[in-house]
Amino acid sequence: MKKLFIVLAACALLAHPILGFAQDAAPLTADAVQTNVNFVWTLVAAFLVFIMQAGFAMVESGFTRAKNACNIMMKNMMDFCVGALAYWAVGFGLMFGVGTGFFGHSDFFLSGATGDGAAWNYAFWMFQVVFAATTATIISGGVAERTKFSAYIVYSGIVSLVLYPVFGHWAWGNLFHGDAAAGWLAKLGFIDFAGSTVVHSMGGWLTLAGIIVVGPRIGKFDKNGNVKPIPGHNIPLASLGVFLLFFGWFGFNPGSTTAGIPQIAEIAVTTCLAGAAGACSAMFYTWMRYKKPDVGMTLNGLLAGLVAITAGCANVTPLSAVIIGLIAGVLVVVAVLFFDKIRIDDPVGAVSVHGVCGAWGTLAAGLFDSAGFSLHTVGVQLIGIGACFAWAFGSGLIVFKLIDLVIGMRVSREEELAGLDYSEHGASAYPDFQTVHLGSIFTPGQENGAK
């Protein structure tokens, strides 16, 4: 006890001059406190959005087969790592740099991070890079189980380097340098507060292009074009992923204020209500249609509601948010069935959740604008939706086709049947529970992973 007292006394003596210095220091001004709060909130929100990478990985893995789980984890990790480097080097400058109404031409390699504004440059970049990663990650689920890992890495880099930033500049270019970097959509008054179109529809329409180029999985459609379900291997894992995405969305939408202000509470409420409404409407719709509440569709209904409210989360009422979510929950089910019917093989429903419901949410931001209904606003929203589809789908087809011609998009039939874990990585996510015949891929002595 005596020794403890001596240690505490020594700590008190050492701390005394520090405490005295703190008391003598000039108090922070209100503006300085607000600035610090803005930094903290923006970075905390960025970290919440980063958690969504884990959510996407779990959703995709759970909705697909066990033999591809390692491949999916690798993709969701590496699209962020490759994309972050690409966005740092070029993407951020194209998106937020001073330039024309179509792309920026400054701030490459974070060259604008100098002087008094350097710290905010870093914070803003950190928040934006996780959005870029989300766009690239959306594509992963749509082309899962049959795409070469090398091809995936290449197009993930291109998405973060050029494709996402260019459209992002059109809608959000003015968020960093103001009017000097405003894109043509922003000048029209386009509303997309947190990215129903800029992030989600962009990712969804790129996914559609990728699916068309890579083609459906073996066994998804019979010779007559009838759909043959390919169940996911772990719905609890997919459910956990959806919970993580829901959690991350409270950084995605409220964090888009990039300021610690009271409005984040309202945005959190509209986000929560739309997601809940989407889950409920998807559940009841499938319950009525199939006599059972479908788990997978309900999970996607929740995500559909969240995607749909992302554009208008800051400019619609809570009641409007519920309506937007309810419609999105039914719309995503209808869209999934439609794409199956036209032989678009989307294992996780990425095109329906992000592309279709992102477009709906962007239109809804104009239809339910709390400032009042305006045909001009709705018209601008439709222009933005159309511009995103034309840019994402058109450029996506070109990029995916070029990759297919140069290195190939798709693995061989034998590799697909054995699973991408083995063929692409020489690994197995569940080695104690899964057996696959490897004779067509590995030669004797290579069963442990050496190719």
168-226 residue pLDDT tens: 999 999 999 999 999 999 999 999 999 999 999 999 999 999 999 999 999 999 988 89
Residue 422 counted as domain residue: no
Tell me, yes or no, whether 277 lies in a domain: yes
For residue 183, the 8-state DSSP code is -
b or e along 4-35 (b: 16 or more beta carbons within 10 Å of the residue's beta carbon)? eeeeeeeeeeeeeeeeeeeeeeeeeeeeeeeb
Q: Is residue 425 part of a domain?
A: no
Q: What is the pLDDT of residues 108-161, one digit of tens each?
A: 999 987 777 799 999 999 999 999 999 999 999 999 999 999 999 999 999 999
Whether the Cβ atoms of residue 89 and residue 161 lie closer than 8 Å to each other:
yes
Cβ-proximal residues to 294 (8 Å cutoff; 6+ apart), any chain: 282, 283, 286, 287
- Residue 27 belongs to some domain of the structure: no
pLDDT the model gives residue 448: 38
Domain assignment present for residue 423? The answer is: no
Model confidence band, residue 9 (pLDDT cutoffs 50, 70, 90): very low
Q: Is residue 206 part of a domain?
A: yes
CATH for 176: 1.10.3430.10
Kindly state whether residue 323 falls inside one of the protein's structural domains: yes
Nearest residue to 353 via CA among 204, 156, 139: 204
Among residues 450, 425, 447, 432, the alpha carbon closest in space to that of 70 is found at: 425
The domain total for the chain is 1
Structure confidence at residue 223 (pLDDT) = 87
pLDDT, tens digit (0-9, with 9 covering 90-100), for 221-256: 998 889 999 999 999 999 999 999 999 999 999 999
pLDDT single digits (tens) 352-409: 999 999 999 999 999 999 999 999 999 999 999 999 999 999 999 999 999 999 999 9
Quote the domain boundaries for residue 156. Answer: 35-406
pLDDT at position 441 over 60: no
- Residue 436 in this model has a pLDDT that exceeds 60: no
H helical segments located in 103-159: 118-142, 149-158
Average pLDDT value for residue range 273-288 = 98
Question: Per the domain annotation, does 118 fall within a domain?
Answer: yes
- pLDDT (average), residues 246-275: 98
pLDDT value at position 259?
97
- The pLDDT value given to residue 231: 95
What's the average model confidence in pLDDT over 266-270?
A: 98
Residue 377 φ/ψ, nearest 5 degrees: -60, -45
Which carries the bigger pLDDT value, residue 22 or residue 81?
81
Within 10 Å of residue 407's Cβ, how many Cβ atoms?
Answer: 11
